[in-house]
Amino acid sequence: MQAILALEDGRIFRGKSFGARAECSGEVVFNTSLTGYQEIFTDPSYAGQIVVLTNPHIGNYGTTPSDAEASRPYIEGLVTREFSPMSSNWRSTQVADEYLERYGVPVIGEIDTRAVVRHLRANGVMRGVIASGESLDVDALVATARAIKKMDGTDLASGVSTKVAYEWDANEPKNQTGDSLLTENEGGAKQMHVVAYDFGIKENILRMLTRENCRVTVVPAKTSAADVMAMKPDGVFFSNGPGDPEPLEYAVENVRQLQGKAPIFGICLGHQIFGLALGGKTYKLKFGHHGGNHPIMNHQTGKVEITAQNHNFNVDPDSLPADVERTHTNLNDQTLAGLKHKTDPMFSVQYHPEASPGPHDSHYLFKDFRKMMEEFKK
């Protein structure tokens, strides 16, 4: 069956339908990762977005529950060059086509994804629609794309957050190959209690915190700072998540209430929330940063880290006050990629140090958080 990707500017791409035979809409972005497509499918930060994968062959190694970053896919739709109807991997439990169909995610394949990406790079991300059928009204699809609510000014994080607090199962700290993640901290170092705000948290973040001998309590996005402090945390974590950080005034206020009272660490959306709480401003990038190959300069060590990224908004470094230090810079476009407060125990990064399936250059940040909690207790 034929499928169409219609963009709000009237550009049309025709291909074949896979996954769910349904219509979807969202902001169209592209991801340059060479592997890890299931992790991309299930990343809650992709809520409200149709994802174009630049790697031409998708689905060839199937899907497995141990590769999921959440209980279900969060992408609205998928755009690929070749979408494999079969899988060839001993770990696969379900082919990608059936997996996405099961969760109602439409896929358009057999199109020139290079052309789509070049169009988005030149014109910026835009709203789009994927539809399948033999007789589709192209003009109507373009009109639908133009009517989609923009991501700017929209709180998507509270929609993907957990509704109730829960304790992460620290008894099963496994990585994606099933290997134990226990470290030397398990040998005698005191377990730390981390309260993690869920704005769309990825499971590998929870695994990495557990690896540093942390007991993790995950709480809804709108949990008050007072309720968090009542849990007597050794540290508080602000997670990744979808959408614009500016509408998340409740989260910004919680950072201000927690600042100086406990060590706090933020990733991606959490980083942007920190920037706003410290007096800075955020802005939307032309086509975002999505992929597993972004070079980041760590100004504290002088080393370059290859990182995984997934965000559409960024903190304006020039808007930050003098008591905030810029710790990391994206070498692709010189945007701010990390900050820390000069006196209070808080730091954040704009990328994913827990990157799954990789790269692993930035795992040290979880150890830095552990060290910050230990020093704060002295």
The residues that are catalytic are 268, 352, 354
What is the C-alpha separation between 40 and 27, in angstroms, rounded?
Answer: 15
Which pairs from 151-154 meet CB under 8 Å and 24+ separation?
Answer: 151/27, 151/48, 151/49, 151/243, 151/244, 151/284, 151/312, 152/244, 152/284, 153/244, 153/246, 153/247, 154/48, 154/243, 154/244, 154/247
In order, the DSSP letters of 192-244 are EEEEEEESS--HHHHHHHHHTTEEEEEEETT--HHHHHHT--SEEEE---SS-
Q: Which residues contact 141 (CB under 8 A, 6 or more apart)?
A: 4, 6, 129, 131
Look up residue 317 and give its amino acid: P
Which residues have CB under 8 Å from 73's CB, separation 6+? 41, 42, 99, 100, 103, 105
State how far Cα 99 lies from the chain centre: 20
Instruction: Provide CB contacts within 8 A for 294, sequence distance 6+.
Output: 306, 307, 308, 309, 330, 332, 351
Give the amino acid at 311: H
Question: What is the separation of C-alpha 37 from the centre of its chain, rounded to a whole number of angstroms?
Answer: 13
- Contacting residues for 311 by C-beta, under 8 A, at least 6 apart: 45, 240, 268, 269, 272, 285, 288, 289, 290, 350
